[in-house]
């Protein structure tokens, strides 16, 4: 049994700031009081203790309080992605089979079920007192998140008390905790990178400064004026922050202690530019099935191991399948208390572990000191004339071009080579395939250089800003069929 997260925090530091949004703040005591009112609303609404509730709402204090209220009432929370299509939402709701779907009023028409209640309607229901549990079983499912579906049908991943607590604890061991920490949360709460910040807040006694969405100007203001100490981003967000810092020609405040960068391999020159701007940048590796981080680079290794995701966190274990040799690539496998015990719905019988190990589908290697380097998704691998081409490596080389802001690479069928790489770019001006190939000549082997170039206005990305290479492939197929 572990302590009830929020109730335990209120006992320890009731008057410490918990949450700031725009011009309003809540202490942990104030947050708890509002959470208990919402939990009482749920009881009055006829929601039984321990049922499953789905929530569709934007990142906002009301969403945070509703999630905590569900937990205080012992309910599992299915966090729905507001950026999904109506068809995708319908699949997840059908698969999860929640007792109730709670939605922001403006999203109600998107839900094709009569088991729906708006958050506005919930707040008007008379609240009644509820009895809460002081302790929670480690195996209790707290949240259910659907995988990003970069390779197929999303799976509903169970995340337990043990999973979340193990992850937050291991992260604290790596980064350290300061009493005046403020974590800037611009990641969506329905994603594990956003929810994990809220859980760390309660376990660490740390303030969260919440944004409803990523605003590069406001975020850079916060990083420069020293109002936050931690932030989580993905590669495309990092590039936008660096561009804004370069335009202003300013460095971040020394009060910024950590910028975690996840969501896939990060181009090394992004990391170099970040270090030059005073950003204490730490590449990290994790996934929905591991309740966020599994490996993170320690601060003292940031420059020496540029491009590495670090070593496994204290409570995590990593191995590379079918090899014990340093630098030999293979599938990354993970074990530890943060690994999901399983899935729900149509994947309920699909095991999440094999002899205790989660097979991630990611390709990487461990160097001779045990540092993890993530190469790419195994499913995105391009095999051209028997040679392996990792899109992330090609993208990283393309992004060194001063006019290119974003890049995506995928493989397409080729009668001679089996597959060849093609590239999509978002650029500040017109770039020809010939000039790009000339730029890449000294950076990549000839077989890795893209055979075709597409200029696009925006890359296809999911809610966590991960590049969807399967959509790039679909774009190529659609063009060839026209």
Q: Using CA atoms of 38, 39, 40, 42 in order, give the dihedral in degrees to the nearest 10.
A: 90
**If you search the block for the tokens 């922050």, which residue do you land on?**
241
Judge residue 356's burial from the number of C-beta atoms within 10 Å of its C-beta, 0-12 exposed, 13-18 middle, 19 or more buried.
Answer: exposed
Judge residue 85's burial from the number of C-beta atoms within 10 Å of its C-beta, 0-12 exposed, 13-18 middle, 19 or more buried.
Answer: exposed
Q: What was the pLDDT predicted at 117?
A: 95
Between CA 233 and CA 238, with CA 236 as vertex, the angle to 5 degrees is 50
Residue pair 197/233 in contact by the 8 Å Cβ criterion: no
288 by DSSP, 3-state: which? Answer: helix
Question: Strand pairing of 311-312 and 316-320?
Answer: unpaired
DSSP labels for 241-277? HHHHHHHHT----TT--EEEEESS---HHHHHHHHHT
pTM for the structure as a whole: 0.85
Q: How far apart are CA 160 and CA 140, in angstroms?
A: 5
User: 381-481 belongs to which homologous superfamily?
Assistant: ANL, C-terminal domain (3.30.300.30)
> Which of 1.20.120.450, 3.40.50.980, 3.40.190.290, 3.40.50.2300 is the CATH number of 2-136?
3.40.50.980
Judge residue 360's burial from the number of C-beta atoms within 10 Å of its C-beta, 0-12 exposed, 13-18 middle, 19 or more buried.
Answer: buried
Q: How far apart are CA 349 and CA 114, in angstroms?
A: 28
> Tokens for 434?
């010939």
How long is the chain? 482
Fold match between 163-378 and 381-481? no
**Phi, psi for residue 226 in degrees, rounded to 5:** 80, 20
Q: How far apart are CA 466 and CA 212, in angstroms?
A: 19
DSSP labels for 422-456? EEEEEESS---HHHHHHHHTTTS-GGGS-S-EEE-
Q: Using CA atoms of 375, 377, 378, 384 in order, give the dihedral in degrees to the nearest 10.
A: -70
DSSP labels for 29-67? HHHHHHHHHHHHHHHHTTPPTT-EEEEE--SSHHHHHHH
For the chain, 482 residues long, give each residue's pLDDT as a single digit of tens. Answer: 999 999 999 999 999 999 999 999 999 999 999 999 999 999 999 999 999 999 999 999 999 999 999 999 999 999 998 888 788 889 999 999 999 999 999 999 899 877 999 999 999 999 999 999 999 999 999 999 998 654 457 899 999 999 999 999 999 998 899 999 999 999 999 999 999 999 999 999 999 999 999 999 999 999 999 999 999 998 889 989 999 999 999 999 999 999 999 877 777 788 889 989 999 988 899 999 999 999 998 877 877 888 899 999 999 999 999 998 999 999 999 999 999 999 999 999 999 999 999 999 888 999 999 999 988 777 788 878 777 787 888 998 899 999 999 999 998 888 778 789 999 999 998 999 999 999 998 888 888 999 999 999 999 987 767 788 888 888 888 776 66
> Which of 3.40.50.12780, 1.20.120.1200, 3.40.50.300, 3.30.56.10 is the CATH number of 163-378?
3.40.50.12780
Q: How far apart are CA 24 and CA 10, in angstroms?
A: 19
Question: Strand pairing of 182-185 and 230-234?
Answer: parallel
Distance of CA 236 to the CA centre of its chain: 13
Distances (CA, A) of 236 to 265, 270, 426: 11, 10, 12
Q: Would you list the domain boundaries of the chain?
A: 2-136, 163-378, 381-481
Q: What was the pLDDT predicted at 264?
A: 72
């Amino acid at each position: 049994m572990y302590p009830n997260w929020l109730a335990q925090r209120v006992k320890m530091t009731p008057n410490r700031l918990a949450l700031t949004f725009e011009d309003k703040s809540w202490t942990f005591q104030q947050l708890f009081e509002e959470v208990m009112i919402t939990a009482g609303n749920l009881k009055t609404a006829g929601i039984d203790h321990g049922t499953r509730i789905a929530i569709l709402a934007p990142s906002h204090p009301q969403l945070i309080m509703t999630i905590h209220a569900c937990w205080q009432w012992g309910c599992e929370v299915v966090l729905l992605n507001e950026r999904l299509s109506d068809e995708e939402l319908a699949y997840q709701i059908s698969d999860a089979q929640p007792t109730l779907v709670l939605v922001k009023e403006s999203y109600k028409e998107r839900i094709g079920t009569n088991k729906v209640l708006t958050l506005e309607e919930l707040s008007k229901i008379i609240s009644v007192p509820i009895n809460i549990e002081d302790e929670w079983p480690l195996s209790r499912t707290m949240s259910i998140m659907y995988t990003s579906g970069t390779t197929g049908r999303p799976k509903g991943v169970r995340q337990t008390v043990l999973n979340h607590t193990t992850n937050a604890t291991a992260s604290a061991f790596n980064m350290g905790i300061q009493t005046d920490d403020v974590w800037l949360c611009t990641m969506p709460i329905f994603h594990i990178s956003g929810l994990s910040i809220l859980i760390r807040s309660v376990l660490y006694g740390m303030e969260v400064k919440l944004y409803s969405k990523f605003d590069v100007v406001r975020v850079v203001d916060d990083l420069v004026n020293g109002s936050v100490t931690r932030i989580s981003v993905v590669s495309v967000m990092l590039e936008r922050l660096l561009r804004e810092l370069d335009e202003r020609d300013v460095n971040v405040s020394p009060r910024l202690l950590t910028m975690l960068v996840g969501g896939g391999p990060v181009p090394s020159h992004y990391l170099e530019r970040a270090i030059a701007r005073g950003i204490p940048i730490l590449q990290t590796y994790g996934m929905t099935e591991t309740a966020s981080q599994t490996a993170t680079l320690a601060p003292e290794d940031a420059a020496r191991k540029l491009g590495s995701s670090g070593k496994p966190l204290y409570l995590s274990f990593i191995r590379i399948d079918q090899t014990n040799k340093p630098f030999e690539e293979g599938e990354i496998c993970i074990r530890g208390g943060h690994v999901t015990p399983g899935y729900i719905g149509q994947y309920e019988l699909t095991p999440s572990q094999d002899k205790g190990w989660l097979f991630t589908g990611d390709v990487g290697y461990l160097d001779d000191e045990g540092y993890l380097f993530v190469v790419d998704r195994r499913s995105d691998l391009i095999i051209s004339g028997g040679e392996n081409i990792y899109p992330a490596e090609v993208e990283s080389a393309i992004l060194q071009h001063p006019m290119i802001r974003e890049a995506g690479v995928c493989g397409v069928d080729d009668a001679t080579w089996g597959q060849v790489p093609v590239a999509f770019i978002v650029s500040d001006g017109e770039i020809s395939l010939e000039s790009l190939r000339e730029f890449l000549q000294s950076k990549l082997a000839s077989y890795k250089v893209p055979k075709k170039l597409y200029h696009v206005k925006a890359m296809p990305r999911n809610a966590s800003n991960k590049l969807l290479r399967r959509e790039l492939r679909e774009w190529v197929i659609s063009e060839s069929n026209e």
